[in-house]
Amino acid sequence: MLTLGIETSCDETSAAVVEGERRILSNIVASQFDLHARYGGVVPELACRRHVEVISQTVESALDEAGVALDDVGLISVVKGPGLIGALLVGVSFAKALARSRGVPIIGVNHVEAHVYSAVMSSDTIEFPAIGLVVSGGHTMLFLMEDFGVYRWLGGTVDDAVGEAGDKVATLLGLPYLGGPLVEKLAGGGNARAIDFPRAMMRRRSYDFSYAGLKTAVLYHVKGYAGSPRDPSLIDDAERADIAAGYQVAAFEPLVRKTMWAAEEFAAQSAVVCGGVSRNETLRAMFADAGADCGVPVYFPAKELCTDNAAMVAGLGAWRAVRFPDESSGDFDAFPNFGAFDALEDYRDPRARRRGGRRRKE
Ligand code: KG4
Ligand code: ZN
């Protein structure tokens, strides 16, 4: 069966055709990079308008590149959330209209789960239980996967996401939008030990993360303090590279250590690291080393599947439709907040459990 995937949760309009649950026939990503670059971040209203303008063409390109017609598609899978509500509504409305007009079943899937599925699509040797880590511009979260599709929440960021922190640090270093990959490049020429930035929330019992303090530490390093301000334009290239390298290890160490602690605590057979930041080679190398030391194989998505794309959405939709046929009834709405990760349960955080927790159902 062919599945048409549609993704519009943030600033990429993407459409893809996947055969079965894994074979990618096309994966078109229309980036809005040019639109948001001069604002230094995604402007939601502009993102929605651009999605409206290009979604039709993006879907046509995905079908053309796959060499298939709309009539060949047996399922439409669209991201229903989390994400920017206006942006999500464009994809969901378009997908529903297409599905109704063609009489094709439609399923709404979770963007975060699609990131996890991108690793499953890229490898058939992942063993469960596994520890999952999603590191992207919008999310930093750790969970136990008893199997794919069965999750237990372990922890997440209490403030910024790690990808977002990297983008902010890039701005402080005078790098253009979108900064995460540029920080990585700059760090390549630096010494990660030259500047000792703080690693946050390293208590063994916590699986939460924090990036606001690290971001502020970089800010003070670059701009100085009230009593002794510094002109950032006078920082030489060697120091900029050291800042970038020092930032990266301080940002990544908690991710690696907590994933390995969780793997030990829950006797996980593997770890799965996904989302935009999982493209980063330093992060991959740190995980490979720690995984080898702890005897935990670490899996990543193929590089082109790390950042937002519709192939992971199509693949996940196909996977879920087979196992949970009720989900492809088309009865779903777009939702902006994290929370419809249906099988996810609060596990560690007693405060969240008492409140009824993050387990909010749709
Ligand atoms: O998964 P994604 O495309 O979108 C969200 O769901 O948020 O992730 C985008 C994030 C951005 O913050 C971007 O700077 C970061 O992933 N990113 C990277 C790298 N490539 C993308 N961060 C560090 N190193 C990279 N190579
Ligand atoms: Zn994403």
Confidence class of residue 58 from pLDDT cuts 50, 70 and 90? Answer: very high
3-state secondary structure of 140: strand
Q: Which residues have a beta carbon within 5 Å of ligand 2, which is an ion? A: 136, 308
**What pLDDT score was predicted for residue 338?**
67
100 Cα to the center of ligand 2, angstroms: 27
**What pLDDT score was predicted for residue 40?**
83
pLDDT (mean) for 337-357: 45
* Percentage of the chain lying above the pLDDT 70 cut: 93
Using the predicted structure, report yes or no on whether residue 44 has a pLDDT greater than 90: yes
Question: DSSP readout, 261-323?
Answer: HHHHHTT-SEEEEESGGGG-HHHHHHHHHHHHHHT--EE---GGGTSS-SHHHHHHHHHHHHH
Using the predicted structure, report yes or no on whether residue 348 has a pLDDT greater than 90: no
Is residue 129 within 8 Å of 145, Cβ to Cβ?
yes
Q: Is 136 in the pocket of ligand 1 (CB under 6 A)?
A: yes
Q: How far is CA 112 from CA 119, 132, 139, 191, in A?
A: 12, 11, 8, 33
355 or 263, greater pLDDT: 263
pLDDT (mean) for 22-39: 93
**What pLDDT score was predicted for residue 350?**
40
Mutate to test the pocket of ligand 1, among 7, 42, 136 (most ligand atoms within 8 A of CB): 136
Q: Is 167 in the pocket of ligand 1 (CB under 6 A)?
A: yes
289 Cα to the center of ligand 2, angstroms: 26
Is residue 313 within 8 Å of 7, Cβ to Cβ?
yes
Using the predicted structure, report yes or no on whether residue 356 has a pLDDT greater than 70: no
- For 154-195, how does the pLDDT look when each residue is reduced to its tens digit (9 = 90+)? 999 999 999 999 999 999 999 998 899 999 999 999 999 999
Atom of ligand 1 minimally distant from the CA of 83: 6
- For 117-133, how does the pLDDT look when each residue is reduced to its tens digit (9 = 90+)? 999 999 989 999 999 99
Taking alpha carbons only, the member of 138, 71, 106 closest to residue 313 is 106
140 Cα to the center of ligand 1, angstroms: 11
Is residue 312 within 8 Å of 117, Cβ to Cβ?
yes
Atom of ligand 1 minimally distant from the CA of 281: 26
Q: Is 308 in the pocket of ligand 1 (CB under 6 A)?
A: yes
Q: What is the mean pLDDT of the chain?
A: 91
**What pLDDT score was predicted for residue 351?**
39
Q: How far is CA 57 from CA 28, 51, 201, 311, in A?
A: 10, 10, 45, 17
Residue 360 tokens, joined: 């909010």
Nearest CA to ligand 1 atom 21: 276
**What pLDDT score was predicted for residue 260?**
97
206 Cα to the center of ligand 1, angstroms: 24
Confidence class of residue 347 from pLDDT cuts 50, 70 and 90? Answer: very low
- For 62-95, how does the pLDDT look when each residue is reduced to its tens digit (9 = 90+)? 999 999 999 999 999 999 999 999 999 999 999 9
Q: Is 138 in the pocket of ligand 1 (CB under 6 A)?
A: yes
**What pLDDT score was predicted for residue 339?**
58
What ligand is nearest to the CA atom of residue 179?
Answer: 1
**What pLDDT score was predicted for residue 346?**
39
Using the predicted structure, report yes or no on whether residue 362 has a pLDDT greater than 80: no
Atom of ligand 1 minimally distant from the CA of 162: 12
What ligand is nearest to the CA atom of residue 175?
Answer: 1
Residue 69 tokens, joined: 């017609």
Would you tell me the crossing angle of helices 237-265 and 162-172 to the nearest 10 degrees?
170
- For 197-251, how does the pLDDT look when each residue is reduced to its tens digit (9 = 90+)? 999 988 777 899 999 999 999 999 999 988 888 988 889 999 999 999 999 999 9
Q: Is 307 in the pocket of ligand 1 (CB under 6 A)?
A: yes
Using the predicted structure, report yes or no on whether residue 355 has a pLDDT greater than 60: no
Q: Is 279 in the pocket of ligand 1 (CB under 6 A)?
A: yes
Strand-pairing partners, residue 2, are 19, 73
Is residue 82 within 8 Å of 111, Cβ to Cβ?
yes
- For 93-118, how does the pLDDT look when each residue is reduced to its tens digit (9 = 90+)? 999 999 999 999 999 999 999 999 99
Atom of ligand 1 minimally distant from the CA of 137: 7
156 Cα to the center of ligand 1, angstroms: 17
**Residue 329 CB burial class (10 angstroms; 0-12, 13-18, ≥19):** exposed
Q: Lowest mean pLDDT: which of 5-9, 115-119, 332-336? A: 332-336
Nearest CA to ligand 1 atom 16: 276
Using the predicted structure, report yes or no on whether residue 341 has a pLDDT greater than 70: no
For the chain, first and last CA: distance in Å? 28
Count of alpha carbons within 13 angstroms of residue 338, beta-carbon side = 15
Residue 262 tokens, joined: 């969780």
Query: Whole-model pTM?
Result: 0.91
Q: Is 166 in the pocket of ligand 1 (CB under 6 A)?
A: yes
Amino acid identity, position 31: S
What ligand is nearest to the CA atom of residue 164?
Answer: 1
**Residue 240 CB burial class (10 angstroms; 0-12, 13-18, ≥19):** buried
Beta strands in the chain (DSSP E): 2-7, 12-19, 23-31, 73-81, 106-110, 130-135, 140-147, 150-156, 270-274, 298-299, 345-346
Using the predicted structure, report yes or no on whether residue 150 has a pLDDT greater than 90: no
Using the predicted structure, report yes or no on whether residue 360 has a pLDDT greater than 70: no
Q: Could you give the CA distance from residue 348 to residue 144 in angstroms, rounded to a whole number?
A: 11
330 Cα to the center of ligand 1, angstroms: 30
Is residue 312 within 8 Å of 114, Cβ to Cβ?
yes
171 Cα to the center of ligand 1, angstroms: 15
